Amino acid sequence: MSDTRRDFIKAAAATGVIAAGAGLGTVGGASAQAGAMPQDTGTAGKRVAIRNGAVLSMDPEVGDFENADVLIEGSRIVAIGPNLDVGDAEVIEAAGMIVMPGFIDTHHHQFETAIRSALPNALLFNDGQPHGAFNYAEYVLGNFSLKYRPEDVHISEVFGALSQLDAGVTTVMDVSQIHHSPEHSDAAIQGIRDSGRRTAFGYFEGHGDASRYPGDARRIREQYFSSDDQLLTMVMGGEIYLPGYEETWKIGRELEIPIAVHIVGSFGMQPTFDELAKAGQFGPDNLFIHMTGMSDAGWQATKDAGASVSLAVPIEMMMRHGLPPIMKTLEMGVQPSLSSDVECTLTADFFTQMRSAMTLQRSIVNQAALEGMEDLPELLTCRDVIRFATVEGAKALKLDAKTGTLTPGKEADIILLDAEAINVAPLNNVPGAVVTLMERSNVDTVLVAGRIRKWRGRLLDADVPKLRRELEASRDYLFEVAGVQQDLFRD
């Protein structure tokens, strides 16, 4: 991070926080026409007002507003409420828009962007049951991923991050299982840095003689993540199906960073998971991904430790991870975050993630009701799954002091969703419109730490055609060296 970047974030953090709704009076914004894009957003002292939007804050203390303003100074939100006196702030007119926190994806393998849709019908691994010959473990982890050069890592990271940013996902945990050398690690970090998105860099495994995983975590932490005052943070990948996982957990706790682990019962992880649970190894620094097929004892230990759970519901249903444990996590009082997982098989779109979680839970409960069962759990609501996609994601990544809600003092990770579009209008219910009607075309404007990254439907600061050509060249190389024939109509 540049000194300039650090300076303006520190300056913004030092400004006084205006209480939500405190300002009343004139409609400001005389310094800019409502239709013009404010300039130099996210810089120290820069004031921007988002005006007249339907504000879904996701903060119970702030509340929601049918028509209100969000005032930003530098990288932070300083006030929320109707008819704020915003002085000389430049204006983003949000009439007809839903203004809400950006989505947070707690598990996305961005390095696989070059092989998007390459395995649309694949299962997770060949479990000896029908359908498993074409599977992710062999094709991706056992073949494609081993062929990546640092430059392939970089372009996939950049393109995948920008794609999700365009779709309103302002924060991600990038699960980069591609650390075959320090150069691969550096390329992954440079890619997420170049994207300008808030990212928790997940330092997972690598393969080959040049890999320095897990010990290189110490260098990476010192070189790239020594400051908490930046968009990038670090997570340690500690897969319990790999030999020596005890050392990865030890390093993660030595470095005082979260430890994320894929937990899939069909992968034979339950015995090890239960042993760790019994030994008291879980903590609030753990993020457990999937949690399919786990024992009651494992779930109880997860809850007792205050560990987080990330559900990738569409992928879990698609790739035979096991039934997504949406019922179990809610039964245990563990509020899940949501994640997209792998784009080689399914989309990283977060409207899909929210709808899938809600419809799965409701289908299970509704069927139980039809069968006459009693003591049924509450049905998930649209607000619930938005909370999973924002608030709970921030908590899981230990970023809830910075993002996840629209709250004065937090950083301005904000999306404006078009509620006047033909697939939504007329607007009758804000959470309902977001979850049941919208998709990525409704993402009009995106801000990260106060900086506008997408404006009126157009992604900024990215030469997408050039990046696409680079991604296509990387794809062609990877298919060739992996010995996989490119076939656009493969079943």
Same domain? For 253 and 388 the reply is yes
Same domain? For 424 and 328 the reply is no
Same domain? For 21 and 93 the reply is yes
Q: Are 459 and 382 in contact (CB under 8 A)?
A: no
Count of domains forming the chain:
2
Q: Are 246 and 265 in contact (CB under 8 A)?
A: no
Same domain? For 169 and 311 the reply is yes
- Classify residue 484: in a domain, yes or no: no
Same domain? For 77 and 190 the reply is no
Q: What is the pLDDT of residue 266?
A: 84
Q: Which of 464, 441, 337 is nearest to 391 (CA)?
A: 337
In the chain, the largest separation of any two C-alpha atoms, in whole Å, equals 69
- Classify residue 486: in a domain, yes or no: no
CA–CA gap between residue 176 and residue 184 (Å, rounded): 10
Name the region of 252 (left: φ>0; alpha: ψ -120 to 50; beta: rest). Answer: alpha
CA–CA gap between residue 399 and residue 222 (Å, rounded): 19
- Classify residue 154: in a domain, yes or no: yes
**CB hemisphere CA count around 225 (13 angstroms):** 25
CATH code (residue 345): 3.20.20.140
Share of residues in the chain with pLDDT > 90 (%): 89
CA–CA gap between residue 363 and residue 24 (Å, rounded): 46
Q: How many helices (H) and strands (E) does the chain have?
A: 15, 17
Same domain? For 409 and 347 the reply is no
- Classify residue 491: in a domain, yes or no: no
Same domain? For 284 and 408 the reply is no
Place of tokens 């997420």: 192
Q: What is the pLDDT of residue 17?
A: 33
Burial of 66 (0-12, 13-18, 19+ CB in 10 A): exposed
- Classify residue 482: in a domain, yes or no: no
For residue 440, what is the DSSP state?
G
Q: Which domain holds residue 425?
A: 3-101+404-459
Same domain? For 97 and 114 the reply is no
Q: Are 353 and 389 in contact (CB under 8 A)?
A: yes
Same domain? For 262 and 126 the reply is yes
Same domain? For 92 and 113 the reply is no
Q: Which of 109, 401, 55, 134 is nearest to 237 (CA)?
A: 109
Strand segments (E) across 5-129? 47-56, 64-73, 76-81, 90-93, 97-101, 103-108
Q: Are 423 and 442 in contact (CB under 8 A)?
A: yes
- Classify residue 67: in a domain, yes or no: yes
CA–CA gap between residue 208 and residue 62 (Å, rounded): 51
CA–CA gap between residue 226 and residue 219 (Å, rounded): 10
Same domain? For 186 and 37 the reply is no
- Residue segments in the chain with a per-residue pLDDT below the cut of 50: 1-34
Looking at 377, 396, 415, which one is the last position of a domain? 396
Same domain? For 251 and 273 the reply is yes
CA–CA gap between residue 105 and residue 287 (Å, rounded): 13
CATH code (residue 8): 2.30.40.10
Strand segments (E) across 177-294? 198-203, 232-237, 259-264, 286-292
- Classify residue 333: in a domain, yes or no: yes
Q: How many residues are there in the chain?
A: 491
Q: What is the pLDDT of residue 14?
A: 39
